[in-house]
Every structure is written in structure tokens, then in C-alpha cells.
Copies of this chain bind each other. A is one copy, B any other.
Amino acid sequence: MNTQNIIGYSFLPATGKSFKAVNPSTNGQLDGDFAVATVADADAAMQLAAKAFETYRHTDAKTKAAFLRSIAEGITALGDELLNRCSAESGLPIPRLTGERGRTTGQLNMYANLLEEGSWVEAVIDTAIPDRTPLPRIDIRKMMVPIGPAVVFGASNFPMAFSVAGGDTVSALAAGCPVVVKAHPAHPGASALVAEVIMQAAKKHNLPEGVFSHLFDDGYAVGEALVKHPQTKIVTFTGSLKGGMALVKMARERDEPIPVFAEMGSINPVVLLPQALQNRAEELAKTYAESITISAGQFCTNPGLLLAVKSEGLDRFKEALAQGIANVGSATMLTAGICNNYQKLATERLGDEAVTVIRKSDKLNTENVNQALAAVSEISAADFLADEKFKEEVFGPFSILVVADDIAQLEQVLDSLQGQLTATIMAEKEELALYGEVINKLSFRAGRVILNGPPTGVEVGNAIQHGGPFPATSDSRFTSVGTGAIKRFVRPLAWQNWDNALLPDALKEGNPLGIWRLFNNEWTK
């Protein structure tokens, strides 16, 4: 494992400060001194990215696809070294990380397929009509082109799938944007392993140097320098509201403001309808005990808010949920900081006089540190509505059940919620028609609405939407998961009256790429 910063095809000699990775299960330091990059390094990486962009924005789809496939192969080839290092750095168990690795390589291959198929560029062609009156129509052809060098911040909670070669990097590279990754300091070793894979893959396919760089920093200076750099054209981030908004603010205050796609988490409300509670309270409780506690509750789509009208079914649900939570052993959180924050917030919530504890697990693993114990609690809708703090995310295996007196009050709670990544309704089919307003209110506030399933477990595909109204994300018009994620990194460019030979292949006469195009208002291929 090389612990140096990467700019283009060079490992930078370590000259100054370094930091070590920490195993959150033990608080012990792991092997490796990771070189802290400098502001000058950030500048060099961005300058090289800008230079690379001049070439890479024209790199053909096949080459880009092969590049992504090589990254996937390289990650797989890292084998247990990557999984073990990831687990040591994140506290996440090997089976979860094995799944995440599959998701990561799956994303890379999915994007390779997308590029090879080619229609994602949204080619639109209106040909000339010389004899149109009162004015002739001129030939115009439009397609998506990459926006420019991207800065990607690695996320702590997905050390592979939303980190160095994660969804942001792959969609940016697929779009034709060079990427400079600011590695998350919680998993520098896993980051270093994957970064070297990307560098080698870029070399193998003779891509312009600077198409990828990778910088370490356990503080904020490098990230700030990257976001403020004039050559940076877009920034992506997954993490806290505070962290995301700090980047958004920086990006806005530049001489040239640039877009930031920040996915900042949410409480992912789940409405439990009466009939469903009556018929299958225990099954729902089992589903949610699992969804709340999976990966120590550290998913963006963790269901932090359950919502129901009081009923006998709800009482049974609570009882079964209490049992489910009681059975869940403590789990290591990603970092000591995240765990401390969880302990503090969960304790505050559970100690609030408006809140009743349904159950806090006491199955503490005393062999490891930074342990999160799952907890579910209850509050009346009236008390929930009276205090904004209950709408804030408690990052970890925690959920609060809001109990309404009636459906009108439940709707009031929905009206009070901010934007969400997901919103879920657990219902019997026959009762759904009675709750049109509930569905309406949920769908207005979320990027993805789910029927009868947990919000956790985000499918990576064409139809997924992982992005919702603020503060779930900084722009609800985009997604960070699935093939749609590429749209963050592209802009439409129109060629008017252009010479056919000089047009991009996607727009040429005769459709040499054989892609779907909107040609004179008809979709053809």
C-alpha cells in the first residue's frame, strides 16, 4: 500500500505532515503514514486535471468504458487486502463490505455499459428547413458534454461504493470529467489501494495524465483549496448537513460560482397505516428492527422517523419492535467522532421529557470500543410538532416513533417535515386508496417513495433516485446513485449549422453510433 498522494501518474514524495488510520473497534492505530497534501498539491492536481480535460472530454466512449472496467477488475484483484483494510478502518463487517465491493464494481461496469450503449448523451437533432416561412430553419444539434474537472469528497459510510472509485467518481469519469478525490481520512488505506488501481487503469488506457488525482488530508485545508480552485467546475459530497453546506457556501462565494451536489442525509419518514399494523404488526416490526440497525444505522436512508395513528395494532408493533431492538448487539461505528456524536444525540433524545424509550438494546460488545447500541423511542405528534430538534437526523441505529391521535394530525406531521431522500408507506393494498393525501404529502417531500419495504438497501440502476428536496440534497433535480448520476456532470451543448465531419459522432448524419436520438421530433435509432 502506497501512502503517498497521487497527482496524475506520480506519487508525491512525502515531505511534511502525515496521519495514521485508526481502527474504530479498538481506537488503535493501523499501519501506514498517510502524507497530508498541501494547498500547492491541490493546485497542481487541479491544473493537471484542467489540462487533462482538454483531451479527456473528447475521449471516445469505448476507451472510457474500458477504463472503468479495468478499475473494476483492479478492485476485485485487490481481494482480501482491500476488504480487510476496509473493515479495520471502518468497523464494518466483511460480509457487508463484500456486498459493497460488488456494488462498487457493479457501478463501474454499469457505467461502462451505459457508455458503450451511448444513448445517455441525449442527442437531439432539428435539421434545416430552408424553405420554412417566415424564416428558414437552421440545422441545430445538441448533446450532453462534460462540465469540467470534478472534485469528489470520499464519504465515510461507504468506504468503497461512495469513496475513491464510488458512484461520484465513476459518474464523473464516465461523463468525461477528470476527478480529483479528497480521500476521507477515516479510511485512507482503503482509499490508497483503490486510488492506485485507478491510476494504473488510466495509464493502461493511455488517458491524459491528470484524469485522476488523489489527495489526503485529515483537516480541511486541502478540501477548501480544491473547492475554491478556479479550474474546479463541480463538487460532489456525501455526509453531514454541516459539512455539505460548508462546501456549498464556499462554491457559491467563488468568482465563478459552481454547482455542488451534496447529499446530506435525512430522517426518511415511514408511515405505518392502521390496517397493515393490525394485520402484520410483528412482521413490520421485524423489518424495521433490521432496517434501523443495519450497518449500525449508518445508511443515508436509515428510517429515523416512524409515524402512525395510535391503535391496538401499533401497540403490538411497539412491543415487537422493542423485542427486535433488544436482540440487536452493539456495533462499531465508523469513527470515534461519529460514535461520540451518536451517544450524545441519542442520550439527549432519550432523556427528553417529551420522549418515551421504547427500548434501548443493552447487548454491549465490551471487547470493542465505539459501540452503538440501538434505540427506539416514542413521542406524541403534538410534542414532535412543538420542537424542531426532533426533525434532525440522529446518525446511527436510532428511530423515533411519532404517534398521532388521528390521520389529520399525522398529515400535520408530514406537512412539517423537510425534504427527504426517501419516504415510505407500509400499508395493506386495500387501505391505500383511503390515504391519498398521505401519499401526496410523502411524495412531495421525497426523492423516492417506497411501498411496503424498508428504505435501506438502495438499488443501483436506471430507475433509482437518490436525491431529494433540501436539506436531503443541495439540488433535488439530481441523483447520486444510478445511471442518472451522470447528469450532474454534464451540460447541453448545441452545434448550429455545423459541418458534419466536425460534429461529435453522436450527432453526425446517419447516426454512426447507432444511439437513440430525438431526430426532428421523433425518437429513432
Contacts and interface: CB of A to CB of B under 8 A. Distances in A.
A271 to B, nearest CB: 14
Interface residues of A, number: 74
A447 B493 contact: yes
A140 B487 CA distance: 19
A16 B124 CA distance: 50
A255 to B, nearest CB: 9
Nearest to A127: B463
Give how many copies assemble into the complex.
Answer: 2
B463 A54 contact: no
A204 interface: no
A247 to B, nearest CB: 13
Nearest to A427: B499
Question: A257, A449, A463, A484: which has the most chain B beta carbons within 10 Å?
Answer: A463
Given A140-B464, A463-B140, A463-B141, A495 B449 contact: yes
A99 interface: yes
Interface in A477-509: 477, 479, 484, 487, 490-499, 502
A46 interface: no
Interface stretch (A190-198, A327-335, A450-458): A450-458
B464 A142 contact: yes
B491 A147 contact: no
A499 B432 contact: yes
Contact of A142 (B119, B463, B474, B493): B463
A469 B259 CA distance: 11
Nearest to A518: B462
A372 interface: no
A287 B405 CA distance: 73
Given A259-B475, A450-B497, A452-B497, A492 B465 contact: yes
A206 interface: no
Contacts of A516: 523
B453 A138 contact: yes
A49 interface: no
A366 interface: no
Nearest to A502: B432
B457 A135 contact: yes
Given A125-B463, A126-B463, A451 B499 contact: yes
Nearest to A470: B256
A101 to B, nearest CB: 12
A448 interface: yes
Nearest to A487: B477
Contact of A451 (B57, B429, B452, B498): B498
A88 to B, nearest CB: 24
A337 interface: no
Interface of A: 54, 57, 99, 102, 119, 124-126, 134-135, 137-138, 140-142, 145, 147, 248, 252, 256-259, 418-419, 429, 432-433, 439-440, 443-444, 446-453, 457, 459, 461-465, 467, 469-471, 474-477, 479, 484, 487, 490-499, 502, 516, 518, 521, 523, 525
